[in-house]
Amino acid sequence: MSNPCPIGVFDSGLGGISVLQDIRRLLPNESLLYIADSAHVPYGEKSPEFIIQRSMAISRFLLQQPVKAIVIACNTATAAAVTELRKQWPEVLFVGMEPAVKPAVRASQAGKIGVLATTGTLRSARFAALLERFACDVEVLTQPCPGLVELIENGELESDVTKALLARYVEPLLAAGCDTLILGCTHYPLIKPVLRTLIAPDVQLIDTGEAVARRLQSELAKRGELATAQQPQDRFYGSGDLASIERTLALLWPQPQTVTVLGF
Ligand code: DGL
């Protein structure tokens, strides 16, 4: 059994490409349909109600294509909307993501963990529940990172401005003795090379992309819906400035891609 339909993946912008890279590595036969809601980036500073409304509209569009699963490649959108999405479409496979607290607790020798994420994720009830469940014996320092997502969207993956802003966010966590940092926003793995230059080699960086790809693989396998032996066809949609999305996408995805306008 197999299902040749694409997998739908969405984010507030291009951060979800870090997850798309992990999905492509693990599932090279799958066609991928990616949505960058860049007209509304950053989700991290928007209300949960707004994010639910966007996530619903995007999921409706994806299901019309149709797709066989939807990956919410955004911690902020998962925190705000995954419960509503699953309620609305109980038969659909939604794979969401959240900051990797459990693996970080396991990895930290110092018992001190830093979490870099959006304001929305850090304020959410889902994140509070995650800490309560997995982080009772460690110290967790949280750091919202306003401004960083916009720089990444703009393709500034290695600029001095990006480096300086990142340093401002990371230094207090390092000074407090964190030996493990969670990248709790899908945009941040895209600037890992710069981040690496700011931290000691033994500080561990943990993100969720690979775990999401594995979960997607096992759920599709369970349903008999993995694609077999096909030439994958990828499609990209975006809201906002398409030329700017294409420019940044070219830095992140191997073949040149055109981005189709999302009409809502
Ligand atoms: N990439 C998103 C996340 O994982 C959100 C970034 C934003 O739009 O604020 O949280």
Q: How far apart are CA 257 and CA 245, in angstroms?
A: 10
* pLDDT level of residue 259 (50, 70, 90 thresholds): very high
pLDDT tens digits, residue range 42-51? 999 999 999 9
Copy the structure tokens of residue 163.
């480096």
Ligand 1 centroid–CA 243 distance in Å is 21
Strand order across the beta sheet in which 112-117 lies:
139-144, 112-117, 180-183, 204-206
Domain at 7-97+210-261: CATH code = 3.40.50.1860
Domains 7-97+210-261 and 101-207 share a fold: yes
Q: For the chain, which residues make up each domain, given as ranges?
A: 7-97+210-261, 101-207
This model's pTM is above 0.85: yes
Ligand 1 centroid–CA 230 distance in Å is 32
Residue bearing the CA closest to ligand 1, atom 8: 42
pLDDT cut 70: percent of the chain above it: 100
Q: What is the pLDDT of residue 219?
A: 98
* pLDDT level of residue 230 (50, 70, 90 thresholds): confident
Catalytic residue among 5, 74, 136, 145: 74
pLDDT tens digits, residue range 214-228? 999 999 999 999 998
pLDDT tens digits, residue range 128-142? 999 999 999 999 999
Q: What is the pLDDT of residue 3?
A: 95
Per CATH, the architecture of 101-207 is what? 3-Layer(aba) Sandwich (3.40)
pLDDT value at 242 more than 80: yes
- Looking at per-residue confidence, does 118 or 263 come out higher? 118
pLDDT tens digits, residue range 163-192? 999 999 999 999 999 999 999 999 999 999
User: Average pLDDT of the chain?
Assistant: 97
pLDDT value at 122 more than 80: yes
Q: What is the pLDDT of residue 176?
A: 98
* pLDDT level of residue 255 (50, 70, 90 thresholds): confident
Q: How far apart are CA 215 and CA 7, in angstroms?
A: 13
Examine the residue annotation and report whether 185 is marked as an active-site residue of this protein: yes
Write out residues with Cβ below 6 Å of ligand 1. 11-13, 15, 41-44, 74-76, 118, 121, 149, 185-187
Phi/psi-derived region of residue 240, left when phi > 0, alpha when psi is between -120 and 50, beta in every other case? left
pLDDT value at 30 more than 90: yes
* pLDDT level of residue 150 (50, 70, 90 thresholds): very high
Ligand 1 centroid–CA 46 distance in Å is 10
Examine the residue annotation and report whether 145 is marked as an active-site residue of this protein: no
Ligand 1 centroid–CA 98 distance in Å is 11
